[in-house]
Amino acid sequence: MIGILSFLGFTILVAVIAYLATRSTDEKSSDGYFLGGRSLTAGVIAGSLLLTNLSTEQIVGLNGSAYKDGLSVMAWETLAAITMVVTAIFLLPRYLKGGLTTVPQFLAGRFDVATKTITSGLFLTGYVVVLLPVILFSGAKAISGMFDVPGLLNVSESSALVICVWGIGIVGSIYAVFGGLKAVAVSDSINAIGLLIGGVMIPVFGLMAIGDGSVTSGLDTLMSANADRFDSTGEYWQEVPFATIFTGMMLVQLFYWGTNQQIIQRALGAKNLAEGQKGLLLASFVKILGPLILVLPGMIAYYYFEGSIDSNSAYGELVREVLPKPLVGFFAAVLFGAILSSFNSVLNSSVTLFGLDIYKQHINKYAAEHTVVKYGKIFGVCLALAAMFIAPIIESAGSIFDYLQEVNGIYNIPILTIIVVGYLTKRVPAIAAKIAIFLGSGLYILSQFFIGPSRVEKALEAAKASGITDETALRIVEAEAYPHYLHIMAILFLMNVAIMLIIGKIKPRETPYVQEYTKQVSIEPYKYVKQVGLVICAIVITIYIYFAK
């Protein structure tokens, strides 16, 4: 009962603070609703970026990956810091110069409206079919397990899952659809503090559990017992092989932190370029520490349970075993905040994309701003309902985190390709962008969902027929049967870039593209952005060298 009361108390407190902080914001205008009135400061941007990224598919999924493969999966966290620096220095100045509300808006000016619409459609499809349902599903699993919802309500596990999915979905929709970006960003910033505290508690209590009450003794025990797992360079058959760091990994990170609407929308709402850059850099510093929350607990769980449990259950089991019972309610509230953060951030970005890039562009070109916001909200409600219906049926997807990354490749690399080429060239035409989108998505689907699985299945059948049953040996067979999906992404990226450049050479635009400065915010950069960026990159490289075996 204490746990439930603390959970409700913290959640209601965040809602009240978010309401008080946003009640004076003009939510009837596009800038007011979608970008928080272009008034966000560095601290709010950093907190919102981190909380939008950090949710149960990260906390549960990445710790599950660390349970299997050890420290090498930290690449998903530490390398993000480098791409955030690239975004701060290269992409954000161009976004704010053009006064963008959505990333696809740039594509309308650089290529044409059709390219923008196709890109918005890809974003929305990915959000409703993959990202939103996965966030709801993983969050519902975590909350249901922490509060033992099946026992509490005397229902089956599947019924408890549905109840939690709809509970999270409804509360998240209220934040995102009726509060706008500023409500999302403010609540994110408050939850960020709680999540950092709660997230650090798990490895601390975990190390104390294996170190007879001492954190340092626990760390010494863990490192001496599993020294081979403290290796930053993953084996070629693991989830993150070291070679992928130099191919698709950096592309995925650049897409996520630099062009993904749900993430970059926080920086687009900055009051000026300097605040946006400082927000990104501050978030990147914290991101370097991410493995303490998202990797170390999984490694502790591997030692604690002697590798005897399912990897996707590792984090939840560790929390139940090592966290003092009075703190479970607080941690559940913090985790609930993280779930809501990711859900309502994605939903708010979806509303933005639909309202400005679909409704305003194709349905009602002369709609007043309050009408655009109104129909954006209606679409958001429909999107949330669709995600709530889809979420319970993805239980058979396997590893949540790996599934997310692989499926997102359908749209993230094609979109990144046309944005990068769009900014770095002046005469590549719109037809090149359209070909790159459809060709990139089509070939990736063919590779990862038809050719790849067929080859892997045949290789595994042959291996099992020859008597191979060891899990590591089977993972090696699987890795050798077909290239890693991150390598495939890099190959398709380079191919698409080459095709776009060739088309640009054969049939260039009649006039070179020139980006205009809309003067909506100051684009005077933070004067130390490059120096701080170099320091961040140096820290990441040093960490990799230190832990390389």
The answer, yes or no, to whether residue 397 has pLDDT greater than 90, is no
Which pLDDT belongs to residue 324? 86
The answer, yes or no, to whether residue 495 has pLDDT greater than 90, is yes
Identify the weakest region by mean pLDDT among 124-133, 285-294, 394-403.
Answer: 394-403
Cβ pair 401, 312 in contact under 8 A: no
Q: Supply the CATH classification number for the domain 40-399+522-547.
A: 1.20.1730.10
pLDDT 10s digits, 297-326: 999 999 999 988 878 778 878 988 898 877
The answer, yes or no, to whether residue 182 has pLDDT greater than 60, is no
- Diameter over CA atoms, the chain: 72
Kindly write down the DSSP assignment for every residue of 144-198, as one continuous string: HHHHTHHHHHT--HHHHHHHHHHHHHHHHHHHHHHHHHHHHHHHHHHHHHHHHHH
Which pLDDT belongs to residue 237? 93
pLDDT 10s digits, 27-54: 444 444 444 456 788 988 898 788 778 7
Cβ pair 306, 226 in contact under 8 A: no
The answer, yes or no, to whether residue 151 has pLDDT greater than 80, is yes
Which pLDDT belongs to residue 33? 47
User: CA dihedral defined by 87, 194, 345, 28, rounded to 10 degrees?
Assistant: -110
Predicted confidence band of residue 158 (pLDDT cuts 50, 70, 90): confident
Cβ pair 40, 217 in contact under 8 A: no
Three-point CA angle 500, 131, 448, nearest 5°? 55
CA 498 distance to own-chain centroid: 28
Exposed/middle/buried for 505, CB within 10 Å: 0-12, 13-18, 19+? exposed
Predicted confidence band of residue 536 (pLDDT cuts 50, 70, 90): very high
Cα 117 to Cα 357, 418, 428, 548: the distances in Å are 6, 13, 18, 45
- Long-range Cβ contact pairs of 101-105 (< 8 A, separation 24 or more): 101/30, 101/31, 101/34, 101/35, 101/268, 101/352, 101/356, 102/261, 102/265, 102/352, 102/353, 102/356, 102/357, 103/259, 103/260, 103/261, 103/264, 103/415, 103/419, 104/261, 104/353, 104/357, 105/356, 105/357
At residue 272, φ and ψ (nearest 5 deg) are: -165, 170
Q: What is the mean pLDDT of residues 346-368?
A: 80
Q: Which residue has the higher pLDDT, 502 or 382?
A: 502
Cα 124 to Cα 121, 129, 438, 503: the distances in Å are 5, 8, 16, 28
Cβ pair 417, 500 in contact under 8 A: yes
d(CA 352, CA 114): 18
d(CA 355, CA 380): 10
> For the whole model, what pTM was predicted?
0.85
Q: What percent of the chain shows pLDDT beyond 70?
A: 88
pLDDT 10s digits, 204-231: 999 999 999 999 999 999 999 989 999 9
Average pLDDT, the chain: 85
Q: What is the mean pLDDT of residues 107-128?
A: 88
- The alpha helices in 211-272, defined as continuous H runs, are 215-225, 248-258, 261-268
Collapsing DSSP to helix, strand or coil, 270 comes out as strand
d(CA 523, CA 394): 44
CA 438 distance to own-chain centroid: 23
Cα 525 to Cα 83, 150, 272: the distances in Å are 18, 53, 9
Which range of 161-170, 374-383, 412-421 scores highest in mean pLDDT? It is 412-421
Residue ranges per domain, the chain?
40-399+522-547
What residue has token string 């916001």?
Answer: 373
Cβ pair 320, 142 in contact under 8 A: no
Tokens of 395: 């239980």
Which pLDDT belongs to residue 27? 47
Which pLDDT belongs to residue 298? 95
d(CA 537, CA 533): 6
Cβ pair 503, 432 in contact under 8 A: yes
Which pLDDT belongs to residue 19? 60
Cβ pair 88, 277 in contact under 8 A: yes
> In this structure, how many other beta carbons lie within 10 angstroms of the beta carbon of residue 303?
20
Q: What is the mean pLDDT of residues 481-508?
A: 96
pLDDT 10s digits, 445-488: 999 999 999 999 999 999 999 999 898 999 999 999 999 999 99
Q: What is the mean pLDDT of residues 247-262?
A: 91
